[in-house]
Each structure stands twice: as structure tokens, then as C-alpha cells.
Amino acid sequence: MNLAKVHYNSESVIQILSTTLNEIINDETVVICIGTDKVIGDTLGPIVGTILEKNNFMYPVYGTLDKPIHALNIYEAIEHIKEKHKNANFLAIDACLGSRDSIGNIQLRKGPILPGKGVGKTLPQIGDFSIVGIVDKIEDNRCLSSSNIRLSFIYSIAETIASSILASVKLEYNI
């Protein structure tokens, strides 16, 4: 279920996302950023994780550019995170494919991320809540075409998501 859907360069994007996130993020929150730095379109999650980490986000963050969570390590990573944070409120973040008209949209959803679904992989789902950034259109071959996606575009979406998460905590604590 979508809780919020807004384009990354909308004037009110951070206000919309942070207000909704403020109702979701709590002391039990763990942020899990999915993706790899080997494919530009899939760097969204690790960039968000890196920005949160560099801004000393007060809750645990997993999945950064230095330590990504991707198809090759996701089973072990999720098992480790769930074992370490047994009663956590998981907020998962990932890049997503969608229709041409939805590219650039950020969706905040109640429910898990389904990593790899857009490229035909079956990987474990994660998240009580999820944020996806739609970075490219779905093609017949269901691949993220790195030649069509600019890193600056991915970075802008990641920066918007990270800023919204950081702003939501500031709303809570009036920092």
C-alpha cells in the first residue's frame, strides 16, 4: 500500500516524505539499503545508506557504497540483521523499475521490498515499510540498462530520500 508517492524534484517532496516517515520511524527502526555500486541504476540504496551514515543517522543503517547489500550477499545480510535486531521496525530502500511516466517518482509503502523482482530474480523480501525510487522503465528483457541512467539522476533521488529520512527525525526531536 502506497503511503506517499511524489516526484523527486517536486517542490514539496521532502516535506511530504518526511512528514509520513515521521509517523513510521521510531527507536526500533533499522534502515536497510539494497543495491550494488556495480550498476549505476542499482546504486540508489547504497548511496542513501552512505549519506545517512555520513550524517550520523541515529538509527542503524545497513547497505552502503563500502558495504553494499546485493544479490550475492542478501541472504546472509538479512539473516544477520534480523538476528541482531529481533524486534526491529525495518525500513528498506531500493531502486525500482516502472513505467516511463513514473521515472523519478519516490514511493513510500507499507510492506516489504522485493529485491531483484524488476530483473527477474527471486530474492528474500525485507521491510515493514519500504521506499523505492523509480530509476528506469521496465523493458522486455527486464534489465537495468546502465547506458540510459545517469549517476547524477540516481544521486539526486538518493539525496532526496536521505534528506527526507533525516528531516523526519528532526521533526520528531525538534533538532
Cα(151)–Cα(29) distance, integer angstroms = 28
Among candidate residues 162, 156, 171, the one with its CA nearest the CA of residue 40: 156
pLDDT at 175: 45
The pLDDT of residue 150 is 94
Residue 96 pLDDT:
92
Classify strands 105-110 and 129-137 as parallel, antiparallel or unpaired: antiparallel
pLDDT at residue 114, as a whole number: 84
* Nearest Cα to Cα of residue 31 among 163, 117, 128, 118: 128
pLDDT tens-digit profile of 91-136? 999 999 999 999 999 999 999 998 777 667 778 899 999 999 999 9
Give phi and psi for 75, each to the nearest 5.
-60, -50
Domain ranges of the chain: 2-173
d(CA 175, CA 162): 16
Q: What pLDDT is recorded for position 36?
A: 94
Q: 49-62 pLDDT, tens per residue?
A: 999 999 999 999 99
Q: How many CB atoms lie within 10 A of CB 98?
A: 18
Residue 20 reports pLDDT greater than 50: yes
Better pLDDT: 147 or 114? 114
Summarize the confidence of residues 42-47 as an average pLDDT: 97
Looking at the chain, the whole-number percentage of residues with pLDDT higher than 90 is 81
List 137's β-bridge partners, or say none.
98
For the record, the C-alpha cell of 162 comes out as 536521505
Average pLDDT, the chain: 91
- Please tell me the predicted confidence (pLDDT) of residue 147: 58
CA distances from 39 to 3, 45, 59, 127, 145 (A): 28, 12, 27, 23, 9
pTM: 0.92
Look up the CATH number of domain 2-173.
3.40.50.1450
pLDDT over 70 (residue 140): no
pLDDT at 37: 93
pLDDT of residue 141: 53
Q: What integer is the mean pLDDT of 79-100? A: 95
